[in-house]
Amino acid sequence: MKMRALKLKRDWIHGWLLLLPALVFLFAFTHIPAITTLINSFFSTPRGRRSAKFIGLENYDRMVNDPVFWKVLWNNLWFAIGTIPASVGLAIVMALWVNEKLMGRGFVRMAYFTPTVLPLIAVANIWLFFYTPGFGLFDQITGFLFGWPASNYLGNPDTALNAIIVVTVWKEAGFFMIFYLAALQAIPVSLKEAAQIEGAGRWTIFWRITFPLLMPTTLFVCVNAVINSFRLVDHIFILTDGGPDNASALLLFYIYEVAFRFWETAYGATLTVALLALLSLLAIGQFFFFDRKVHYK
Amino acid sequence: MTGTSEMFDRLLNTCAAWALALIWVLPLAYAVWTAFHPAAYEARFELFAPLTLENFSKAWNAAPFARYFLNTFILVTMILAGQFFLCTLAAFAFARFEFPGRNILFALVLLQLLVMPDILMVENYKTMRLLNLVDTIPAIALPYIASGFGIFLLRQTFMTIPKELDEAARIEGASFLGVLWKVYIPLAKPTYLAYGLVSVSHHWNNFLWPLIVTNSVETRPVTVGLSIFSAIDSGIEWSVINAATLMTSGPLLIAFLLFQRQFVQSFMRAGIK
């Protein structure tokens, strides 16, 4: 009995000691900043000799009345709607193709996956050139095929965000494909064979067998895609710099602008709180998802 | 279903798969084309246009890319070493030790999967200023070295290792750190490889936080260097910018083409767990 208690106590100490270094860094750069963000959102931005002053909800008042805030929030919603279904749908199709015996499968798989290893900044450069009005390949092809005139997709407020969505889908689809590929390989062939014997066509097999079995993967990929829709802003710096007139700015990009171009750190903190609130809503959803996943194992 | 219709079906699928693949490589192929040809062929396609490496040497000489590469290399190594060390210890604690507060702490670790350090850039920048680390490579690395993802991944792997191996090593007189070093780490090698590849490619490509926290040639990683290089629109030719773009992604791209299978499997492994 005493021995056991002693061992337990030693386990405690060892466990805590092992955890300590990681926790110090985790708290220093994730949990504590999250809390100080909330605190600073109730203060004014310190300027020169004037230190920060408690101003209650003034920053929030400003945020609610800031048309740019609503605009970037709206943009972010569009960005999510534009990127998530398209990249997930394409990922499924890509994985189905690559999983089959296909002529030149190696090349096809490489073509789909390569954008994933490129830095988003490099991707943006490549696409900026691709979109160049007049002599970029995009205009050349559409001009040649459909006779469209040269157009400035990135400089037009109606198309700038869509152009960015296309780049993001291009970058993400191949990444999500990998998860589907793994899931497809885990589905027993016998299921498919049994269905074929019963006379089911490819369509039926996909919708009745494959797709339902891919559901956990779809959930996982969707959670990732949603988080990414708040996180991926690197390419905006190169492609449009948020413009024209904030037409392609997303929430995280706006936080960067406010905090590091206008140096309004308190307002930046307030916007960060809004982003954190959005992410916590997602976390609640993710919690249920993780729960389900644990039961699967 | 008859044989012909199935053949037709297969042909259709192959064509569609190839069409999409060609669309997918098009932007990259276009960049490669311009980077290896003189500026005069930027938008003109001739099969026998003269090949050249001049764009690469121009780009290399126009900005301190050698220094940027060194910075990125130091950065990526620093992060990986830190992550391996911290995440291994923490994952071992979560996988094999009973202590009060374990579940809450693990939930706090998982929280980082959602709230990445990039999102908290305003506060993290203040911290770096407080520590007097702004514009240093450690400042870029520090927020990432305790990775929730890494801890989670290694913990899952450690939990699959049979306890009997652990106990056998202890009976032979190994301390708990000895067990970790001799039993757990060797058996988790594939996970380390997978996590290492994912981490290296992620931090090689990372941009926003390095952009904020660096402001000199001595600290900037290649991504930030590239963005500055291509942002000066003082008439740098597209072919040179494309050469610079390919150059910065080159090492990863070549590594990927050489070790395609490992890359794909690593990303798969890292995602499934």
With CA atoms as reference, the chain B residue closest to A136 would be B43
Q: What is the pLDDT of residue B235?
A: 63
Contact B231 A269 (CB under 8 A): no
Band of residue A291 on the pLDDT scale cut at 50, 70, 90: low
Contact A252 B205 (CB under 8 A): no
Bridge partners (DSSP) of residue A47 are A50
Specify if A54 maps to a domain: no
Q: Which residue out of A17, A24, A25 would a mutagenesis test of the B interface target, given it has the greatest number of B Cβ atoms within 10 Å?
A: A25
Q: Which residue out of A117, A170, A254, A287 would a mutagenesis test of the B interface target, given it has the greatest number of B Cβ atoms within 10 Å?
A: A117
Q: Which residue among B98, B207, B227 places its CB closest to the CB of A11?
A: B98
Specify if A21 maps to a domain: no
Over residues B77-116, the pLDDT tens digits come to 999 999 999 999 999 999 988 888 889 999 899 888 888 8
Specify if A232 maps to a domain: yes
Burial class (CB in 10 A: 0-12, 13-18, 19+), B186: exposed
The residue that leads in pLDDT, A104 or B224, is: B224
Contact B207 A120 (CB under 8 A): yes
Q: Which long-range contacts (CB under 8 A, 24 or more apart) does A195-201 make?
A: A201/B1
φ, ψ for residue A215, nearest 5 deg: -55, -50
Over residues A106-163, the pLDDT tens digits come to 889 889 988 888 888 888 888 888 888 877 778 878 877 887 777 788 888 888 999 9
Contact B253 A114 (CB under 8 A): yes
Over residues A62-78, the pLDDT tens digits come to 999 999 999 999 999 99
| Among the ranges given (A52-66, A130-144, A177-191, A202-216), the one the predictor scored with the smallest mean pLDDT | A130-144
Binding-face residues of A in 188-207 toward B, CB within 8 A: 201-202
Contact A130 B27 (CB under 8 A): yes
Residue range(s) of every CATH 1.10.3720.10 domain in chain B = 65-272
Total number of domains in chain A: 1
Band of residue B273 on the pLDDT scale cut at 50, 70, 90: very low
Query: Is residue A244 helix, strand or coil?
Result: coil
B224 has pLDDT over 80: yes
With CA atoms as reference, the chain B residue closest to A199 would be B1
With CA atoms as reference, the chain B residue closest to A33 would be B123
Task: Kindly list the residues from chain B whose CB atom is less than 8 angstroms away from the CB atom of residue A118.
Answer: 28, 205, 249, 252-253
Specify if A138 maps to a domain: yes
Contact A286 B211 (CB under 8 A): no
CA A256 – CA A265 distance, rounded (Å): 10
Contact A112 B42 (CB under 8 A): no
Contact B118 A231 (CB under 8 A): yes
Q: What is the pLDDT of residue A182?
A: 83
φ, ψ for residue B203, nearest 5 deg: -85, -25
Specify if A18 maps to a domain: no
Task: Kindly list the residues from chain B whose CB atom is less than 8 angstroms away from the CB atom of residue A8.
Answer: 98
Range of the domain at A113: 67-296
Contact A182 B268 (CB under 8 A): yes
Specify if A43 maps to a domain: no
Specify if A227 maps to a domain: yes
Instruction: Specify the CATH superfamily of domain B65-272.
Output: MetI-like (1.10.3720.10)
Q: Which long-range contacts (CB under 8 A, 24 or more apart) does A128-137 make?
A: A128/A154, A128/A238, A128/A239, A129/B30, A129/B31, A129/B34, A129/B238, A129/B241, A129/B242, A130/B26, A130/B27, A130/B30, A130/B31, A131/A163, A131/A239, A132/B238, A135/B42, A135/B43, A136/B43, A137/B26, A137/B27, A137/B30, A137/B43
Q: Please report, for the domain that includes residue A193, its CATH number.
A: 1.10.3720.10
**Runs of H (alpha helix) within A41-157:** 58-64, 67-99, 105-117, 120-131, 137-146
Q: What is the pLDDT of residue B54?
A: 81
Contact A170 B24 (CB under 8 A): yes
A290 has pLDDT over 60: no
A46 CB within 8 Å of a chain B CB = no
Specify if A220 maps to a domain: yes
Of A80, A75, A124, residue with least CA distance to A254 = A75
